Amino acid sequence: MRAPRRHDVIVVGAGNAALTAAVAAHDLGASVLVLEKAHRATRGGNTRFSGAVFRFAYADRAQVLALLPTPPAEEIDVEPYPPDRYYADLVRVTGGLADPVLTRVLVDRSLETVRWMTGLGVEWELSEIFGVRDGARRRFPPGVVLQTRGAGLGLSAALFRAAEGRGIEIAYEAKAVRLRLASDGAVLGLVVREPTGTREVDAGAVILASGGFEANPEMRARYLGAGWDTVVVRGTAYNTGEMLAAALEAGAQPFGQWSGCHATPVDATAPPVGDLRLTDKTNRLSYPYGIMVNIHGRRFIDEGEDFSQYTYAKIGRAILAQMQARAWQIFDQRTVPLLEERYATGRPARADTIEALADAMGVPRAALVEEVRAFNAAARGGGFDPGTRDGCVTQGLTPPKSNWAVPLERPPFVAYPVTCGITFTYGGLRIDEDARVLDTEGRPIPGLYATGEITGGFFYFNYPAGAGLMRGAVFGRIAGEHAARLKVEAWVPR
C-alpha cells in the first residue's frame, strides 16, 4: 500500500452531483481530488445518459427565458412555477413522504443553483422532451422548460470542463471501497482500489456522490424485490452501491424508500445497460396519448392519470408486474404526430386493423379487439387537448383513462413494445440541510457529506421529472461549500 496523500476535500464520483460539489469546494480555496470509478471514456455516471431536464422554480416566463443564450425562435408558453408549486408537486407525487426540510432546500435554492451553473459554463436550451407543439407555439408544462445544451452529454462535458479548467485532479479507474474513520468516528479519508493496487487517501472531508445501487442486480433484488434483478438499466453500469453500503457500515443512517426506484417504460429491445450512443433515446413517454396493454392484450394502468412527467417514473414498476415484464403502447394516426422524437429509434408493429395489429404484436387477437372496443366505447374524445389535463375521461372503464381518452379509430395503428428500465434508486443516506451525512442517532458524521442519488428522503413511489439533477446540483454546491470551510490549516497525520 502506498503512503497516504492528503486533500482538503475528496469527492467520490464524477456525475452532476460530484462535479458541482468539486467545483464549489475548489472555488472556496480547497484542494480537491475527484475519484471516478469509470474509465475516462465512460466517465460521468447517469448524468451523461440523462435528458438533462432541470426542474427549478421561477416567477415567470421572462425569468426562464433569460437563462437561454439567445431568445427562442418560436412562441413559447410557460406558466409560472413559484417555489410553493414546486414544493407541492414534490409532496403530491411522493404521497406526502418527501422530507420537508430537504425538499424546502431543493426548491428554494433551485433557481439560484441553475444561475450558478450558468456561471460555470453550463448552457441551457428548451426541453426537447416536454414541450407540446400547438401550431407555431410550444406549450411547456410548468417546471420543466429547460434542459442543458446537448442534454446529458453536454451537461457532463460542461461540468468536466469547469473542473478540469480549474485544475481539479480527477483520478480515473479509482474505485472508493471504504471510509477510513478516526476512533471518534470522524472521517479521515478513503481506501481506493485502482488497477495498480489499493491505496489510502487522506482528506479533510469526503463527499459521497457515487450514485445509487441501480446497476447492482444483487442489491436490486435485495431491496427492491423479486424481478428487479433482471430489469434494463437505463444508465451507467458503475453505480453499484458499494460506497452506499460502506457509509452504512461506517454508521450512516439509511433514509428514504429503500424499496423504491425510478423506473420508466423503455424500448423492449433496449440494451441491458445504458449505451452512450443511445443515452436516453430508448425512453417511451408518449403513452398518455394512447393505450398500454400487456402480452395478453389487456390494459393495466390509467395511461392518462397525468402528464407523463408526473407518472413515467412509476410506470416501469407497473410494466415489471406484467407477464414477461412486457407491454405495448398503441396509438392511431390522430395521436402518432404527438409522439416524442425518441420513438423514431423504435420499431413498432403496424397494421390497418386491430386484428392484424394483434397478430403483428403476437398478442391474442380476440382479447385485443375486445379491449380496444371497450376502450373506444368508453372514450368520449370530446375536448381532446394534448397540452392540458383535458379531463377527456373514459366512462365506466377499469382501469379508467383520466385524460386524453380518444378512441383508437384512425388506421394505420402502431404498437411499440416496451419493458421496465430502472433509472435510479430512491433509498440512500440521510443528510441534513448542509449535506452532512447523519449517523443512526441523527448526529452529523464529522467530515462526511453526500449529494445526488446516494442520498435518500427526497423521492418515494414516484418522482416529478427533472428533480434528480436539480437535487444533485443544489446539494452538490452546498456540500462542496460546506466541506471547503472545514479546511484545517495545520493538518497532522493521525
Ligand X SMILES: Cc1cc2nc3c(=O)[nH]c(=O)nc-3n(C[C@H](O)[C@H](O)[C@H](O)COP(=O)(O)OP(=O)(O)OC[C@H]3O[C@@H](n4cnc5c(N)ncnc54)[C@H](O)[C@@H]3O)c2cc1C
Binding site for ligand X (CB under 6 A): 12-18, 35-38, 44-47, 49-53, 175-176, 209-211, 234-236, 238-239, 242-243, 274, 280, 423-424, 452-453, 466-469, 472
Smaller CB separation from ligand X, 13 or 189: 13
Q: What's the rounded Cα separation, in Å, for the pair 350 and 336? A: 12
At 319, the amino acid letter reads: I
Task: Select 151 or 415, whichever has its Cβ closest to ligand X.
Answer: 151
In the complex, the smallest distance separating the C-beta of residue 239 from ligand X, rounded to whole angstroms, is 5
CA 138, 144, 145, 146: dihedral to nearest 10 degrees? Answer: -140
Q: How many other CB atoms are found less than 10 A from the CB of residue 293?
A: 24
> Nearest distance from residue 178's CB to ligand X, in Å?
10
Answer whether 208's CB lies under 8 Å from 437's CB.
Answer: yes
Which residue, chain included where needed, has cell 441534513? 432
Q: How far is the CB of 212 from ligand X (least distance, A)?
A: 8
C-alpha cell at 415: 404498437
Q: How far is the CB of 96 from ligand X (least distance, A)?
A: 21
For residues 392 and 400, the answer to whether their CB atoms sit within 8 Å is no
Cα–Cα distance measured from residue 439 to residue 442, given in angstroms and rounded to the nearest whole number: 5
* Residue (47 or 402) nearer to ligand X, CB: 47
Helix 365-378 vs helix 354-361: crossing angle, to nearest 10: 130
Nearer to ligand X, 375 or 424 (CB): 424
In single-letter form, the type of residue at position 192 comes to V
CB closer to ligand X out of 290 and 468:
468
The three-point CA angle 130-281-79 to 5° equals 10
| Least spacing, CB of residue 35 vs ligand X, in Å | 5
Q: Categorise residue 55: left if φ over 0, alpha if ψ from -120 to 50, beta otherwise.
A: beta
Nearer to ligand X, 314 or 401 (CB): 314
346 by Cβ neighbours in 10 Å (0-12 / 13-18 / 19+) ranks as: buried
* Whole-angstrom distance, CA of residue 391 vs CA of residue 1: 65
CB-CB neighbours of 394 under 10 Å:
25
CB nearer to ligand X: pick between 37 and 138 = 37
Please identify, using beta-carbon distances, which residue of 175 and 401 lies nearer to ligand X. 175
Shortest CB 234 distance to ligand X, Å: 4
Minimal distance, residue 387 CB to ligand X, in Å: 20
**Least distance in angstroms from the C-beta of 399 to ligand X:** 27
